[in-house]
């Protein structure tokens, strides 16, 4: 999709109208990312992929745009925004729940992360923040793989590292997260 790459360059140079032209071209892929996020949640969650994509779009319109390296980078940024939306949603739901003296995540605010063990979106977000403080690259790789559903090859292109390095670092990061989240 060379057209998307050209539009991303225009967007990076400050042409906000380029985002309006990009979205129809990448909409289905963004929906797949959103569906990937939401498929990891427990049944009964209230967010839908379309709503998640639309909210991400609104947030992207309001922010300044980085100089996107390419499509993979754009999808990585989109995935990060979707992650933030889900975390914000989970925190709002938990804040409502706290009124009843229970500080446990609601079923809709959990993800299946490892061995089908439910993990709170907020707990995962906090663990990724801790990982980022130790190794930002590993945190970004997990975000691209787990949340954006990007392949090792796409991550490799976006992060400018080899595919074997991506796979190795993802294994290390996932092991760290499993340990961190099992506590």
pLDDT (tens digit, 9 = 90+) per residue, 67-84?
777 777 788 788 888 888
Q: How far is Cα 18 from Cα 164, in angstroms, rounded to an integer? A: 34
pLDDT computed for residue 104 by the predictor: 34
- Look up the pTM and report it: 0.65
User: Helices 49-62 and 71-98: crossing angle, nearest 10°?
Assistant: 110
Separation of alpha carbons 182 and 48, rounded Å: 28
Domain boundaries, the chain: 2-181
What angle is formed at CA 60 by the lines to CA 70 and CA 12, rounded to 5 degrees?
Answer: 40
Instruction: Kindly give, in sequence order, each residue whose CB lies less than 8 Å from that of residue 27, ignoring residues fewer than 6 positions away.
Output: 53
Q: pLDDT tens for residues 32-70?
A: 878 877 776 655 566 788 888 888 888 887 777 667 777
* Residue 119: both structure tokens together: 């993990």
């Amino acid at each position: 999709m060379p057209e998307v790459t050209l539009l991303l360059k225009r967007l990076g140079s400050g042409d906000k109208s380029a985002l309006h032209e990009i979205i129809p071209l990448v909409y289905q892929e963004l929906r797949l990312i959103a569906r990937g996020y939401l498929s990891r949640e427990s049944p009964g969650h209230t967010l839908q992929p379309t709503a998640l994509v639309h909210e991400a779009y609104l947030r992207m319109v309001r922010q300044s745009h980085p100089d996107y390296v390419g499509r993979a980078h754009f999808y990585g940024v989109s995935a990060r925004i979707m992650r933030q939306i889900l975390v914000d949603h989970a925190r709002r739901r938990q804040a409502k729940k706290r009124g009843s003296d229970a500080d446990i995540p609601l079923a809709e605010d959990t993800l299946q992360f490892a061995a089908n063990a439910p993990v709170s979106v907020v707990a995962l977000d906090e663990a990724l923040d801790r990982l980022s403080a130790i190794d930002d690259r590993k945190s970004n790789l997990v975000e691209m793989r787990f949340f954006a559903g990007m392949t090792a090859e796409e991550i490799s292109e976006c992060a400018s590292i080899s595919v074997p390095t991506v796979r190795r670092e993802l294994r290390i990061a996932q092991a760290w997260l499993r340990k961190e989240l099992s506590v």
